[in-house]
Amino acid sequence: RTRETVYVITDLTSRQATPERIAKVVRSQWVIENRLHFVRDTASHEDASKVRTGHGPENMATLRSFAINQLRAAGHTNIAAGLREMSLRPFERPLTLLGLN
């Protein structure tokens, strides 16, 4: 067994900030990490991106998130497979996904 001390800054009162509530808040951050950031990196290879200057990285992250959200809204549970499907007809399927075709 090990013991780890973690300090947290929160706007919760001391009565609201129970260990269980703090743990729930911390775990909810991992949901975001696993559902979005991990998918952006594995499906879009975000960490390998060469876009590094100006607002380019932020803009590309927004576009990647938009694509993931559109695929999920269309019922795709495997984002990598959804991206592959869209790439089979790149001038037709993405437009259909967005309702523009």
Does residue 89 fall inside a structural domain? yes
Residue appearing with tokens 């979005």: 36
Does residue 53 fall inside a structural domain? yes
Cβ atoms of 57 and 51 within 8 Å: the answer is yes
Does residue 42 fall inside a structural domain? yes
- Residue 30's domain comprises 19-98
With both helix axes pointing from N to C terminus, report the angle between 56-73 and 79-88 in degrees, rounded to the nearest 10. Answer: 90
- The span from the CA of 18 to the CA of 22, in Å, is 6
Does residue 4 fall inside a structural domain? no
Residue-level pLDDT at 81? 95
Does residue 1 fall inside a structural domain? no
Does residue 91 fall inside a structural domain? yes
Does residue 10 fall inside a structural domain? no
pLDDT tens by residue, 34-47:
778 889 889 999 99
The total number of structural domains that make up the chain = 1
Global pTM reads 0.68
Q: Report the half-sphere exposure of 65 (CA within 13 A, side-chain side).
A: 12
Does residue 43 fall inside a structural domain? yes
Q: Give pLDDT tens digits along the chain (101 positions).
A: 999 887 888 899 989 999 899 888 888 888 777 778 889 889 999 999 999 999 999 999 999 999 999 999 999 999 999 999 999 999 999 999 999 98
